[in-house]
Chain A
Amino acid sequence: MAESYDLIVVGAGPGGSIAAKTAAESGMKVLLLERSRTPGEKNVSGFGLTSKAYRDFPWLKKMELPSMRVCRKCVGHFLSPPPELDERVCLYSGPSRRISYPEGREFFTVMMLRREFDEYLAGEAVSAGAELRTLSLVTGLVRESGRVAGVLLEGGDEFRAPVVIGADGALSAVARLAGIREKWRPDEVVSVCCIDYSASRERLDWVIDDAAFHGFFGPGIGGNYFMCMAEGVHLGGPGVGNSLVSRLNRRRIKPARELLDTIKAPSCRNLLKAVDAVPREWQAHLLPWLDRMPTNIFGPGVMLVGDAAGLPEPIWAEGVWQAMYSGRLAAEVALEAVDEKDASHASMRRYLERLEKSPVGRDFIGGTQMRNLFELLGDERFFGELTEMAVDLFVAMFMNGQEVHSEAMARFLPILAENLPVLMEVGRIYAPVLLEAYSGAVRDKLQLLKGLGAIFSGMAGTAQGGGKGGSQPGGEAS
C-alpha cells in the first residue's frame, strides 16, 4: 500500500530542503527523498553562499558552521599567457557602496562546506515537520490520468502525492521521467573539478583573512578560482567560459591537468604554499550554465527547481541561492495547488510565471551577451589586449616613476584610441544587455498603463451601472 503525502520533494540539496521546509511550515505533509547517506554527501560546490541568500532567508543569520569564512574581499588575478602566467593586473576589492541592500554592502559570500550546509538545511526542513528519507534513490514516477502523482524508489517502494518537486540536481531523473527533458545539450553545462586542500587556520587568517575568493583569469586559464574556508581551500575549474562544448572543441588536455596548470601560476602556487595547503580530496560535478531562463520546468503535477531546472545564473553559474529561491516558490505554488485540488498544467504554470518575474528570472536578462563576454575573456588576443590596456592606463596615470609625469599622462588618450577595437568589442556586448534590460522596463510600464486603463474603463462601466466585468484585468469590457 503506497503511503500518501501532500508533497514529495526529490533531492535534499538546497533547493529540495527549502521547498520541504516552506511546505511543511504551511502545514503540508511533506516527504523529502535523498539518495545519499546524509544530505550533502554527493554535492560539490565552491562553495560561497552569496549575500542575497541572507537577504531573502534572514533566518540563515543564526547558522554557524565550523567551516565558515566570510568573504569580504574578492581578488582577481589577471595573468599573462602560459607558460609565464605572470601576474599583470590584480584587482582586490570589497563590495560596492552602491549595492541596494545592507548585507550586499557588507560581504560577498560566506564560504563553507556543502556537507555541513546541506545537512543544516535538511535539518531545518525536518524541524519544520518534513519527513526526510535518506538512502532513497528515485527511479520512477507514478502517473495518474496523465499527471505525475507520486514516485517509485529503486527497490520498489511507492509514495503518492498530488505534486512532486524535482530538486534532484543537474542530472535530474524527475525531469527525464516526467518527459520534460531527456538531458542537457553539451553547450548548456560545465563540468567542474575541484581539488580540496586542508590548510592551516592560523596561516589562512594571516595570509588570506577575509579575502576568501581568488579568481585567476587569463588566456588558457579561463576563470579558475580558489576559495578559502575556515581550515581548507578549494581550487576549482575550469570555470566560466568553458562549456562542455568549448572544452571538447578545443580538445584541451584533461580536466585534472587543466586545474594543475592554474597552480603553475606563481600567484596561485605561492598562496597555496603560504597557507600550508595539502591536497585532501578530488571532486567533480556537472553544473548547468544556460544563457536564457529555461521555460520547460514544469508539467502536470510536477515542478523542477534549482539545477534540475537549469537556474544557475549566466555569468558565474552561481546556483545555490537560485535553488533556494525557486524551491520556496515551487512550494508556495504546490500549496495553492493542493488547496485548490488542481495540479494541472495550468496550475503549475504559475510557478514559471512567478519565477520569470523574480530576481532569479531577471538575472537572465542579457544572459547571452554575458556568457559571450566570459567566453571572450578566455580568448588570447582579446584578453591580452584588455589586460595590457589596463596596465598601460594605470601606469601612465599613477604609477609612473620611470618617465616625466606629464609626458606619460599625455599618453592616456592615445592609449584609449589605440584600443578602440577592443573597447568597441566590449561595447558590442554591453549595448544589447542594456537594450534588453531597458526594453523590458518599457514593456512593463506599457503593461501597467494598459492595466490601469482597463481598471479605469471598468470603473467607468460600473459607474454607469454596468455592474459586470469591473475586476477583469484583461480589459475585454471595453
Chain B
Amino acid sequence: MSDEVVRIDRFSLVDITPATRDFIRVDPQKCTGCGACVVICPMDLWKMREGRACLAEDYRSKCMECGSCFIACEYAALDFSYPPAGEGISYRYA
C-alpha cells in the first residue's frame, strides 16, 4: 500500500499569486550568518552563501508570509512586510 498520507510536495500544495514588489529585504552588512532563517523557513527559501543568508530569487511566488525568518533574525538584518493586497498566499482550507 502506497503511503499517500506522507508524500507531501509543499510547492504543489500552495496557491500563491506572485507578488509584484519585494517584501523581504536583507541587509548583508548586518547578517552574521547564524542561519536561523535557514532553519525556520517552512518553504526552505533561505540558503547560506559565503557565510551570509541568501533568499531564493523566486521567493515572491513561494513565500507563505509567515514572517518566521523576520522574528528568528536577532540581528535586525532582515525586514519583512506583507505583499500588496490581493497578492501572495491564498488558503482555501485553512
Contacts and interface: CB of A to CB of B under 8 A. Distances in A.
B16 to A, nearest CB: 11
Size class of the contact patch on chain B? 35 or more
Most buried by A among B67, B71, B90: B71
Contacts of A244: 40, 68, 71-72
Number of chain A interface residues as a range? 35 or more
A191 B40 contact: yes
A272 B89 CA distance: 26
Contacts of B88: 42
B84 to A, nearest CB: 6
Contacts, number: 141
B7 interface: yes
Contacts of A115: 91-94
Contacts of A277: 4-5
Given A115-B94, A272-B5, A186 B80 contact: no
A255 B42 contact: yes
Given A41-B90, A284-B42, A183 B7 contact: no
A136 B85 contact: yes
Q: Is the interface of A mostly helix, strand, loop or mixed?
A: mixed
20 contacts: A40-B94, A42-B88, A42-B89, A43-B91, A115-B92, A134-B85, A154-B85, A171-B70, A173-B82, A186-B72, A194-B94, A232-B93, A248-B39, A256-B10, A263-B5, A273-B4, A281-B15, A282-B13, A284-B66, A286-B68
Interface of A: 35-37, 40-45, 47, 113-115, 134-137, 139, 153-154, 170-171, 173, 183-186, 189, 191, 193-197, 232, 244, 247-248, 251-252, 254-256, 259-260, 263-264, 269, 272-273, 277-286
Interface of B: 1, 3-8, 10, 13-15, 36, 39-40, 42-44, 64-68, 70-72, 74, 80-82, 84-86, 88-94
